[in-house]
Structure 1
Amino acid sequence: MLDENITYLDTEQRNQNTKNIDQLSTLEVLEKINAEDATVPLAIKKVLPAIEKIVNLAYASIKEGGRVIYIGAGTSGRLGILDASECPPTYGVSPEMFQGLMAGGKDAIFKAKEGAEDSLTLAQKDLEEIHLNKNDLVVGIAASGRTPYVIGALQYAKKVGASTASIACSSNARISQYADAPVEVITGAEVICGSTRMKAGTAQKLVLNMISTTTMIKLGKVYQNYMVDVQPTNEKLKSRSTHMIQEITGVSDEKAQALYKESHAHVKVAIVMALCHVNLETANKLLEENEKISDILNK
């Protein structure tokens, strides 16, 4: 059982800059929040080498056929689910590759089940249900760095031989003890004391963006700075896809439309067809043999 004293945590301190926030005008409140939010990217900059370790573990796990599993409670859990759920439409990957789990299950996404985070054993059950294995990476997310549910997840991950990482917003976080790649983004006292959905949540979102995006770049899902594996599931994305083909290859709009259709709506394939002057079959083969479009072009 963890001790109940949380007053020592960085995220539980009183912010001296916002002591009178309840007496301010609307604009003044917004200015205070904005000023505090501006400190978050600077806090993240200090721990970029630690985030790099998580990305390298994520890439290694995926290359071995494993998955990246985000796990947390409350806001932390929801942010993990958000980042994981956006990977398939953005980068055309399987929903299995990045997954998000949270204390209390799917119902807790919409309605808080705060008591669920206090269990050291529920996380093991949740990870067993998705058949966690040694090729996976488990990323525990907890602003306080002490959430029992997250600690239980990392302990079980260690037990099965999976890689582990953690994201906390407190120094000397307990979850860091169970992580191969711990990250501690010290965002300090919140605008509203203890409201870690604010600066801490913003930091977690930014770090998760970095992890998934950088991993996708390493996996060849990006060419230059284009999302070439985007899934064109609506009219906006279809338009973006053909425009992307045209911008990257320099072909006419008509030719871009033709390549889009010929590639069966696979932007990445269409680009290789145009740049390498090859047919659909050859383009697919080249992409099977090379991780990135740039690898093909540099040969």
Structure 2
Amino acid sequence: MSPSRSVRVVSPTERRNPRTLGIDRVGALGALRLLNAEDARVPEAVAAVLPQLATVVEGTAERLRAGGRLHYFGAGTSGRTAVVDAAELGPTFSLPPGIVVAHHAGGPAALVTAVEGSEDSEELGAADAADVGAGDVAVGIAASGRTPYVAGALRAARAAGAFTVLVSANPEAPLAYLADVHIGVDTGPEAIAGSTRLKAASAHKLVLNGLSTAVMIALGRTYSNLMVEVSASNAKLRGRLVTILMEATGLAEERCAQALTGADGELKTALVCLLADCGPVEGRRRLAAAGGRVGDALTTRPV
């Protein structure tokens, strides 16, 4: 009998794409058109997993309201995409540090230079997930759906009782069993076989941006499609707050500036005061009763 040999399962992203076989023979414009045509497939692939993503948004918002945290775990491009998403929540939504945390295999140094072996270590992933608690959410991002670092992180998070999620570009991801929800975006073979910095990375950016933005909306950090958690740390930003008040209320600049001053610079309080025709004390009471959501504060008056 011949000795048994293990068979490596190839991820969809590693297969050769029949639509781009001649990409090296069509010139710059031709190559760009082929890349663009493949990129155009990404939004449709993401649209197919929106029901699963909605489940993750709802579960994450519930846990963050209760004091939990959202953790991202990834390596390479997947990890870098997660780091960027987490970093931008502070400036955009005034989210305090430590609520959404991105863990990248190999640490900060690996953001700009590959750290050999870091993504292949389940132990490193488990170590990075050591402080994940039962009230937290752990999202592993891995294009192939089999990255050992992500496996270690999800295994540790699952053992701690956290809500676990896998984001991949492989509907049949080997690590799906470690996740309460698997978001397997079917982006198919890359234009350049195995180069997941292309379609898979674009899909992951859309998924993570959608997740974090929808969670911020659920937590009341927007009113309509306006950012209402922006802090005025300088004159330019104060002007931005007045502009937001004008857009939300249709009132004159002077009236909005007065309301902002009367609310001690608190944008949401000023907005409620203008829309509900009340003073700052009443505005704050309404917001407190509505969990900080401006829309609810306008329809629910505290006793």
Pair in the same fold by TM > 0.5: yes
CA deviations over 1:183-229 (Å, ceiling 9, x no partner): 10010111111110110000000000110111111111111111111
Aligned to 1:20, which of 16, 19, 22? Answer: 22
Change (3 A) 1:7 1:22: farther
Q: Retained in 2: the 8 A contact 1:6–1:12?
A: no
Please tell me the residue identity of whatever aligns with 1:252: A
The equivalences for 1:150-229 within 5 A come to 150-229=150-229
Q: Retained in 2: the 8 A contact 1:87–1:95?
A: no
Larger radius of gyration: 2
CA deviations over 1:99-154 (Å, ceiling 9, x no partner): 111100111112122420000111221122xx221110000000000000001001
Give the distance between the partners of 1:233 and 1:199, measured in 2 at CA.
38
- Cα offset for 1:53? 1.4
The equivalences for 1:50-89 within 5 A come to 50-89=52-91
The equivalences for 1:256-267 within 5 A come to 256-267=256-267
- Cα offset for 1:7? 5.5
Please tell me the residue identity of whatever aligns with 1:275: L
Please tell me the residue identity of whatever aligns with 1:134: A
Change (3 A) 1:114 1:284: farther
Q: Retained in 2: the 8 A contact 1:7–1:13?
A: no
Q: Retained in 1: the 8 A contact 2:13–2:189?
A: yes
Stretches of structure 1 lacking an aligned partner (at least 5 in a row): none
Residue 167 of structure 1: SS of its match in structure 2?
strand
Q: TM-score normalized by structure 2?
A: 0.92
Stretches of structure 2 lacking an aligned partner (at least 5 in a row): none
Q: What percentage of residue pairs aligned between the two structures are identical? A: 39
Give the distance between the partners of 1:223 and 1:143, measured in 2 at CA.
34
1:119 matches 2:99: no
Which stretch has the larger CA shift, 285-294 or 198-207?
A: 285-294
- 2:93 aligned partner: 91
Q: TM-score normalized by structure 1?
A: 0.93
Residue 165 of structure 1: SS of its match in structure 2?
strand
- Cα offset for 1:4? 8.6
Residue 121 of structure 1: SS of its match in structure 2?
helix
- Cα offset for 1:157? 0.5
- 1:241 aligned partner: 241
- Cα offset for 1:20? 1.3
Give the distance between the partners of 2:115 and 2:127, measured in 1 at CA.
17
- Cα offset for 1:26? 1.5
Q: Retained in 2: the 8 A contact 1:77–1:103?
A: yes
Q: Retained in 2: the 8 A contact 1:151–1:178?
A: yes
Q: Retained in 2: the 8 A contact 1:74–1:112?
A: yes
- 1:284 aligned partner: 284
Change (3 A) 1:157 1:298: same
Aligned pair count? 295
Please tell me the residue identity of whatever aligns with 2:297: I
- Cα offset for 1:258? 2.4
Change (3 A) 1:125 1:226: same
Q: Retained in 1: the 8 A contact 2:286–2:298?
A: no
Q: Retained in 1: the 8 A contact 2:69–2:136?
A: yes
